[in-house]
Structure 1
């Protein structure tokens, strides 16, 4: 992708969107100057991190997340992180408390240690059009602030988060990369590099991919070359979840989102972000898993002939493809957990469970899809060896779970899914 140009991801031209976004990506403020030391996912950003990561649609996570958020989990876990909630279906964060007037707030709403929350709110107000604001409690320190903005056209929830992403390499890049539409419902998205070396993503999407609520989520994320993330979301309702839609679209245009996320006012606040706390020595470490590239390559190699791969993606330990054998698109995903442990055996009970001669348990399930797509069915084969090596394979009769079915059945039969899950190739992959 040429530098300074947008990268549209919606598959169709939208001149007004692309013209405005082109201007967004061609201009930005000065670069940030700060010292980032650790990656976001390794730090102690607990609540702020979970909110950011569960919104992000770049998929990482555990086997139990297969049906929950696409295949494997964030556009964040990790839309789900390894210990994430397997029933989560939103690409946005968890519900937040109702806001109080911006003149104060209760202790129960105080953010975690970090930047003075009142300062975050002040920068937010200073770089948005005139309007009435209400905020959550503004006492104490934290890394994010949530408010309700009203310009007379309807109340709109707005949130800003400031995070360390790390330095060098690919740290934080997934946060400014448009997600695959196979996993996340959105209207338009573009990502690119701005002249000062920072990267930006702007996405016009929804809180829920399954359409249970039509709340829109327009989002801008800036990754500075110094390893910080500025993450802004706005909604066409007073709250991210559970609130009635109050206006057709969120209040800020693409240019206004760009001006907000690239504002110079964030720079002194980013410098105040302390180094992430060291993890508790007793905190369990994430078990090693195969790399994203290894999982995706192995999945593609095991597909039946005639299944053309239309798109693919995933993260460490899991991957997915959208295939088309000439009869319609079908989403297929795999999750590999080399150290699932014996505790996973409790899932292998009831109908559809068998035990192979070597002791491997196999559970085959056919059930309706769970993300709102009309006529979608979900077929899965879950396997667990006596040593605790678990592989789960799922297939759907649509290119995305939230879309209507494109065919009567998934592109792979149950026998093909079983053969794929039991392939010895998964056991040969090197672990990270």
Structure 2
């Protein structure tokens, strides 16, 4: 049976900005489809991460996560300096981080080919170097994009396990997902999902992620089309079944290549950034408990579901007898660079302590019929960002269950401005 675990949703705008921030740090990933994830250098980028927790699956696993020492997302980045010789999954290559591995793509491709069934391969940038390999595979049943990336896992056990834990189906639709412990102490997740959470295009994204006992990640993605996006579907399913995906990421050939990934250098916080805030992956359960404590008692209002994520994300599903309503929060410290990018327009107001506030009402993005999305986005003077969102459905992928969200934008604002978020992030 599928095992469901944490997910990484957040506000879509948050995610779009994250993509830009990561690109500026030198190595980033596209978050344009997975609009629910949570968010100095590569480490700060990971803290701002909001999951495409895949592009893994469209956006959600997107598992969208960044491992220390490398950017980690559902779909992989192209090898550095890659020539556009074939149409493959992933955005164009971006400048390489100084501490990125210089593994020959030819060596990565050799393991990829040896660990998969016989077929024809077109490898992108075969003469380049990097930590990932991308290619188009053809077994005679239709071309398919395939990618494999090697990374170091996160600093904490919680953040590492989050990358091999099945996402919450409220955030990421999938057909099947399993997470298991394998011989040797590693953990493996295999998920059969979609490139687009709302399935506006029926591109399937099947993915396997291995977390080794010594703290490395092997992440493989495959599609039923010659590229992650923009190509017509070429076959009913991606070429490798779950057992073959497992064999791919657990292949012994990756071991000597993983050893070539350098230990990332410590990154100093930017001047003025909050130094005492706990990293998002360290304070998962606190987020949803704080959210629950800030909900004013209302007659007939019940919490019928809840979930947390190790990346500063939590949610509850409310039901007041008028239909279910999803309420979610994202808490991210050290977001100072959002001040000019997102909090400088005429729609921004200021709280008494100088915290910037942006209230929005918009149409939902996950494909649910009639869904609307209200949010309060706040940025404090010390860089702590709190985004509280509410929907008129208990699941963004499903139709609206009520005319409006259960909470007003003023109530969302009051929740977002609570000093309890700072207390929680400081723990």
Alignment of 1:191-202 (within 5 A): 191-202=179-190
Aligned residues: 374
Q: 1:255 to 1:110 in 2, by over 3 A?
A: farther
Q: Distance in 2 between matches of 1:277 and 1:342?
A: 23
Larger Rg: 1
Residues 276-335 of structure 1, C-alpha deviations (whole Å, 9 max, x = no match)? 342566867974356222222101222344231413123344422233334433221223
Moved more, 333-342 or 144-153: 333-342
Alignment of 1:103-252 (within 5 A): 113-165=101-153, 169-170=157-158, 172-252=160-240
Partner of 1:399: 394
Residues 338-376 of structure 1, C-alpha deviations (whole Å, 9 max, x = no match)? 55559737726435x555556555443222123333211
Q: Distance in 1 between matches of 2:52 and 2:75?
A: 13
Question: 1:296 and 2:288 equivalent?
Answer: yes
3-state SS in 1 of match to 2:198: coil
Q: Distance in 1 between matches of 2:318 and 2:378?
A: 23
Moved more, 340-349 or 176-185: 340-349
Is 1:91–1:207's contact at 8 Å kept on the other side of the alignment? no
Residues 210-257 of structure 1, C-alpha deviations (whole Å, 9 max, x = no match)? 333221100011111121111111100001111111111101111111
Q: Distance in 1 between matches of 2:159 and 2:356?
A: 38
Q: Which runs of 5+ in 1 are unaligned?
A: 1-5, 11-44, 82-89, 103-107
Q: Distance in 2 between matches of 1:228 and 1:179?
A: 20
Task: For residue 158 of structure 1, report the CA deviation from its aligned partner.
Answer: 0.6
Q: Which runs of 5+ in 2 are unaligned?
A: 6-24, 40-44, 68-72, 88-92
Q: 1:341 to 1:267 in 2, by over 3 A?
A: closer
Is 1:220–1:261's contact at 8 Å kept on the other side of the alignment? yes
Q: 1:251 to 1:223 in 2, by over 3 A?
A: same
Q: Distance in 1 between matches of 2:222 and 2:345?
A: 44
Question: 1:350 and 2:346 equivalent?
Answer: yes
RMSD over aligned CA atoms reads 4.1
Task: For residue 203 of structure 1, report the CA deviation from its aligned partner.
Answer: 0.2
Moved more, 255-264 or 327-336: 327-336
Moved more, 221-230 or 327-336: 327-336
TM-score, reference length from structure 2: 0.73
Task: For residue 162 of structure 1, report the CA deviation from its aligned partner.
Answer: 1.5
Structure with higher RCO (Cα < 8 A, 6+ apart): 1
| Aligned counterpart in structure 1 of residue 38 of structure 2, from 24, 48, 60 | 60
Task: For residue 204 of structure 1, report the CA deviation from its aligned partner.
Answer: 0.5
Q: Distance in 2 between matches of 1:385 and 1:197?
A: 42
Q: Distance in 2 between matches of 1:65 and 1:168?
A: 15
Partner of 2:422: 427
Partner of 2:407: 412
